A and B are shown apart, each in its own frame.
Chain A
Amino acid sequence: MIRRPLRPLARVLRARDEGGNPDAIAAENLRLRHEEMRDRARARAEGRLLVLGFFFFVAFLTIGVRMGALAATEAEEPRAVANGNPIINQRSDIVDRNGRVLATNLDTHALYAQPQQMIDPAHAAVELARIFPELDAEELLEDFTGNRRFLWIRRQISPEQMQQVHDIGDPGLLFGPREMRLYPNGPIASHILGGASYGREGVDSAEVIGVAGVERYFDAWLRDPANEGQALELSIDLTVQAAMEEVLAGGMTLMEAKGATAIIMDVHTGEIVAMASLPDFDPNDRPRPLTEGDQSDSPIFNRAVQGVYELGSVFKIFAVAQAMELGLVNAQTLIDTRGPMTWGRFRIRDFHDYGPQLTVTDVIVESSNIGTSRIALMIGAPRQREFLGSLGFLEPTQVEMVEAPTGQPLLPQQWSEISLMTISYGHGLSASPLHLAQAYASLLNGGHRVRATLVRQDGPQEGERVVSEEVSAAARSMLRQVVTRGTASFAEVPGYEVGGKTGTADKPRPTGGYYTDRTISTFAGVFPAHDPQYVVILSLDEPQQFVAGENRRTAGWTAVPVAAELIRRTAPLMGLRPEIATLDPTGVTQTASH
């Protein structure tokens, strides 16, 4: 910037020469410059003030127009914008194999309060306490008169209760629609279904989530709106399940057992037609897990899937079948059964002394521990482990229940020769009854591996072969003879040709060793033996029956009669026709036509 001198030198010098006052000239000059500057500033300011005025005018006009536009539109009811995932209702039903409802939804209401909107909190509190006796009027009043703006009073109320609350007439008491999971059959199939509870909860709806069983395992599927209300079809047959639970409960009472479990499985498809565990519960009101003590004592514990037990002599058929499959023995091979058999510091005894030797068939029929051990020694530990693995005993079952992975079999740390022998007659390896069911099904259905499933199947499973057809048939024949002339004679059900094996296992003490007076008695069977359709497993926990002057704990006296009753009741329900042989003098056996 070029600065102008404050005093115009030329004029000042001339004025000085002429004797004038140079200061006046300087002052005049200054005034003129000042005015010039001001005029410039004022002209600019005028323009800019005009711009400002225009800006404010337009701004206020815009606000006015906008106000007018808003005033011209209709008001909306204030409603919260749903944020996040909307809560989707319409959980799919669960039905049995014939479409009968096992779990469904019921429209109900939840009751909540907005104390700020209450007219007479004291009256409302008293009335609520009258309608819901478990509520306390004073606590309610405290909640209603405090600073709370919102509180849930009841998660579910019945229509009658809703009407009564409605009649209180307080605007601060409000109802939220709910879908409630309902199990119309009560405790039937309780362990399979599991139960459901509320997840995320809003005023308008709440999320129903499965907490156990298939409800939990299929939770995502059941909640998926893409299924469009399609029901989940289980393999369960509701009538068979109901009959099983009735028979099992009766048997448990009769045998003074503290628990019981049973499974009926289709040998070809692996479908679980019925599966029960006692004691049970009502999934509409699922009990909480025990906070102390042994979880296996809780009613929500599923003995069939979660419980792993040493199942005893029912395992003998595996050793015999494997030995036959390997060509080591046949049904008539004689096995040395002199006892007691000593192996290192262990001694293996039989229930009775069966003499010096028995055929392989009689080892099964008489249930000889020594005979089975000798057969196992022929097989050897690695091959036994591999064979049991092919039957599914080395890993948890893959049945569609969230509890299935907890049914982890207990295996010996070292599969030594003594383990080999004890496992051959069912000790030293703990597995769940469901493991046993799928192994029996695989072994006896002709030799194809099947895996247990709770979902309805359309056809047989074509699993890998575990034994040949012939070995499978021979095994069935031996099991049939156990019933006709062996330890499971009470299992005979006329017309259904039941074959099976008993197992009486001493329960292990938690401190080591075994109890002498507590057993798990198991019957594992198949029917009909010549054309296998179903495997039945029935196990009683600590049963005893006082017969003929002594307490009997063996399966033949406890589990077997119950299993027979179970087959008698359920086989007709599953469409099996009894085959009755008439006492025809000509010796011709008439069979009912197929």
Chain B
Amino acid sequence: MTEMVHGVAPLASGDPVLPRWWRTVDKWTMSCILMLFAIGLLLGLAASPPLASRNGLDPFYYVSRQAFFGGVALAIMLIVSMMSPVLVRRLAVLGFLASFAALAMLPVLGTDFGKGAVRWYSLGFASFQPSEFLKPGFVVVAAWLMAASQEVGGPPGKTWSFGLTVILVALLALQPDFGQAALVLFSWGVMYFVAGAPMLLLMILAGVVVFVGTVAYENSEHFARRIDGFLSPDVDPTTQLGYATNAIREGGFFGVGVGEGQVKWSLPDAHTDFIIAVAAEEYGLICVAVIIALYAMIVVRSLLRLMRERDPFIRLAGTGLACAFGVQAMINMGVAVRLLPAKGMTLPFVSYGGSSVIAGGIAVGMLLAFTRTRPQGEIGDILGRRGR
């Protein structure tokens, strides 16, 4: 249908794939991602030896694993970014169906690794978390449905995608994994927002959120304690958050020096949820500022590129992927500096985790595929071909 409306991209069919890819891909975003991955490996060198020593493994066991998975992820990212949006969509829908089935089977076949929530499949050499792979697939499917609803006489795609979202959130909340559920809901909300959510609905939604938040705060002791702990200016220094905050202070502007950090020895989640604290302690504010800038660059640049995109599916899917990526990083770092209430979430591409980094590679590959430069029919606008 895209071709029907805009005409086929004016590229010779014999044009080799690689040069075309290199010409059209967003090289800035790609370099940012590569740099993030490099920083992730560097921080892994700092943060994971304590974990390895606790588990009685070689000090750089986790680093080498991360390098291996990261290599796989980068390869996948490159391959995916070379695909056409249609191919990406088809594969993503298949991937979504597969991971949805995997997610639904979790209560039967999954394992909780003693952490209380059944989120993983144990594959022997590695664990596999379906919800990580579900997210990019879901974004593509939802974008597809919403884009279809923008056709004249198209299906009610927004409603369908909302139904899908509700089912997914329910499945994730059952695990329970409220972090991923919130991410799924957030990506759908962002896509719906860009796809043209009515202003009135947005305002009502904001009102409902405030109301529910207030009711929950007044009625749920657990929730209130979390919020109070977040609002109070003093943090108990013996909590994970306290250690993280302290590590950031300890690091100052230039850090305490490579390998000199202490927080990685005290925090059980130093290599995942609080890796930014390790970065801040050992390499200082400079390193953290670079990391933040990289994430901001990837997200904002992708969003700006998508503004020019005329295909609603590509626009929506790209938006969803970029925002899911960005908000995950934002929450992770926001928690560490106590701008947000405590919630375990990994820092994409930097935190340790096999399935997380591969799923990240897939998502970013898709994002790159969607943000590639494409003919957008601007000439037609100029020539007034479309008779407006």
Contacts and interface: CB of A to CB of B under 8 A. Distances in A.
A36 B151 contact: no
A353 to B, nearest CB: 85
A496 B357 CA distance: 100
Contact of A73 (B249, B289, B386): B249
A32 B384 CA distance: 12
Interface stretch (A40-48, A324-332, A559-567): A40-48
A45 B195 contact: yes
B310 A42 contact: yes
Output the residue of B234, B292, B319, B388 with the most chain A CB within 10 A.
B292
A44 B194 CA distance: 8
A119 B107 CA distance: 44
A572 to B, nearest CB: 63
A59 interface: yes
B60 interface: no
Interface string A60-86: 111110111011111111111100000
Contact of B248 (A35, A57, A67): A67
A6 B249 contact: no
B237 A57 contact: no
B388 A67 contact: no
Contacts of A60: 292-293, 295-296, 299, 326, 330
A37 interface: yes
Main SS at interface, chain B? helix
B238 A36 contact: no
Contacts of B151: 34
Contacts of A49: 194, 303-304, 306-307, 315, 319
B285 interface: yes
B274 interface: no
B337 interface: yes
B1 to A, nearest CB: 10
B236 interface: yes
Interface residues of A, number: 44
A39 B306 CA distance: 15
A63 B284 contact: no
Contacts of B166: none
A62 B330 CA distance: 10
A106 interface: no
Contacts of A42: 310, 312, 315
A56 B327 CA distance: 8
Given A67-B285, A71-B280, A76-B246, A41 B150 contact: yes
A131 interface: no
A57 B251 contact: no
Output the residue of B319, B337, B338 with the most chain A CB within 10 A.
B337
Interface in B285-306: 285, 288-289, 292-293, 295-296, 299-300, 303-304, 306
B289 A64 contact: yes
Given A71-B253, A78-B246, A44 B330 contact: no
A53 interface: yes
Contact of A70 (B243, B249, B334): B249
A9 interface: no
A483 to B, nearest CB: 73
Main SS at interface, chain A? helix
Contacts of A88: none
A454 B152 CA distance: 99
A41 B339 contact: no
A67 B289 contact: yes
Contacts, number: 139
A79 B242 CA distance: 10
B280 A56 contact: no
A89 to B, nearest CB: 23
B10 interface: no
Nearest to A61: B296
B123 interface: no
A63 B330 contact: yes
Output the residue of A46, A61, A71 with the most chain B CB within 10 A.
A71
Interface string B311-327: 01001000100010010
B307 A75 contact: no
B382 to A, nearest CB: 14
B387 interface: yes
Given A56-B296, A56-B303, A35 B388 contact: yes
A503 to B, nearest CB: 66
B224 interface: no
B303 A38 contact: no
B300 A53 contact: yes
A41 B326 CA distance: 24
Nearest to A65: B337
Contact of A66 (B237, B303, B315, B339): B339
B342 to A, nearest CB: 15
Contacts of B193: 48, 52
A62 B339 contact: yes
Contacts of B280: 67, 70-71
A59 B152 contact: no
A38 B292 CA distance: 35
Contact of B196 (A32, A35, A45): A45
Nearest to B251: A71
Nearest to B315: A45
B150 A70 contact: no
A409 to B, nearest CB: 53
Interface of B: 5, 150-153, 190, 193-196, 234, 236-238, 242-243, 245-246, 248-253, 280, 284-285, 288-289, 292-293, 295-296, 299-300, 303-304, 306-307, 310, 312, 315, 319, 323, 326, 330, 333-334, 337-339, 386-388
The list of the 10 closest CB pairs from A to B, nearest first, reads: A60-B296, A75-B249, A53-B303, A78-B237, A71-B285, A75-B250, A66-B337, A70-B248, A64-B292, A56-B299
Interface of A: 6, 30-39, 41-42, 44-46, 48-50, 52-53, 56-57, 59-64, 66-68, 70-81
12 contacts: A31-B5, A32-B387, A37-B150, A38-B150, A45-B195, A45-B196, A50-B303, A52-B190, A60-B330, A63-B337, A71-B252, A76-B249
